[in-house]
Amino acid sequence: MSGRPPARDEIAGWVAYLREIGVRELRVVAAAAGPGAAARGPAPARGASVAPPVAPAPARPSLGIGAAPDDAFPDPPPADPAARLADLRAEIGDCTRCKLHGGRTKLVFGVGDPRARLMFVGEGPGAEEDARGEPFVGRAGRKLDQMIASIGLRREDVYIANVVKCRPPNNRDPEPDEIATCSPFLVRQIEAIRPRVIVTLGAPAARTLLGTKTGITRLRGTWQSFRGIPVMPTYHPAYLLRAYTLENRRKVYEDLLAARERLGPR
Ligand code: SF4
């Protein structure tokens, strides 16, 4: 992640978002020395959640993943994650492995820092993402950018990917056979990036990585684990836009704060 100090408009963005979710007070803490300290942004608001220990992974095997959810990756992180991701993108190619290929305009692989410490996982591309070939660029994407900014990071500091890389028709949830076919690519992205924390956005992403049928309302805000990596499930920004209550916005903010605290020092 970049150590560039946040620009004035970025700070204004954080403050606007925090105000929007009802945060009126920020705790000021001494900045840690060293690169990246400035990029960690504002301290959590007083009373914000503190990350509890990682809960045991659900017992069910995860969909299409091919390993128990909590089996740590056997190999050390790759020396060159960008090259590993580029190889994977080349291997996926002009994919026709599942029926979603028929309706896509552009395959949406993922975007961000190949060495990101924080990774976001959504379910699949929408219309704008399909048109541009980049995840989370529509209205929900702008909300995600705002959410990322609220914890003092920028889109380019994190990595963003989806469970399926092609747009499901009419923005429906991806179906089990599509997830089973495509999710191994997501696992290999995670294996390449080896983030310190994953935040899943919405129910399909959480269910896929955690291999559970538990609803997102119960899952969100609770630490889970995927292949030894802590996972914080939260609401999808599109849901947040549909159910734009103060309560929901605060829940998402608290989930993200917990994720940021879990990142720890660089
Ligand atoms: Fe291939 Fe995944 Fe697209 Fe299906 S969704 S066609 S598996 S890239």
pLDDT tens for each residue of 115-170: 999 999 999 999 999 999 999 999 999 999 999 999 999 999 999 999 999 999 99
For residue 206, the model assigns a pLDDT of: 97
C-alpha distances in Å from residue 46, one per residue of 26, 66, 226, 250, 264: 7, 41, 30, 13, 18
Tell which atom from ligand 1 comes closest to the C-alpha of 92.
8
Measured in whole angstroms, how far is the alpha carbon of residue 249 from the centre of its chain?
16
Distance in Å, CA 13 to ligand 1 centroid: 35
How far apart, in whole angstroms, are the C-alpha atoms of residue 96 and residue 35?
A: 43
pTM attached to this predicted model = 0.81
pLDDT of residue 71: 84
What band does 264 get if pLDDT is binned at 50, 70 and 90? confident
Q: How confident is the model at residue 33 (pLDDT cuts 50, 70, 90)?
A: very low
Q: Which residues line ligand 1 (CB under 6 A)?
A: 92, 95-98, 100-101, 107, 164-166, 178, 181-182
Is the distance from CB of 204 to CB of 175 less than 8 angstroms?
no
CA 154–ligand 1 middle distance (angstroms) = 28
Q: In the predicted model, is pLDDT for residue 35 greater than 60?
A: no
**Whether the predicted pLDDT of 91 surpasses 80:** yes
Write b or e for each residue in 229-253: b if 16 or more Cβ atoms lie within 10 A of its Cβ, otherwise e.
bbbbbbbbbbbbeeeeeeebbebbb
Q: Average pLDDT, stretch 24-41?
A: 45
- In this model, does residue 50 exceed pLDDT 80? no
Question: 98 CA distance to ligand 1 centroid (A)?
Answer: 5
What is the pLDDT at residue 212? 94
Query: What is the model's pLDDT at position 43?
Result: 44
Q: Which domains does the chain have, with CATH numbers?
A: 8-263 (3.40.470.10)
User: Among residues of the chain, what percentage have pLDDT more than 90?
Assistant: 71
Q: Is the pLDDT of residue 40 over 60?
A: no
Q: Give the whole-number percent of the chain exceeding pLDDT 70.
A: 73
Q: How far is the CA of 92 from the centre of ligand 1 (A)?
A: 8
Confidence category of residue 22, pLDDT binned at 50, 70, 90: low
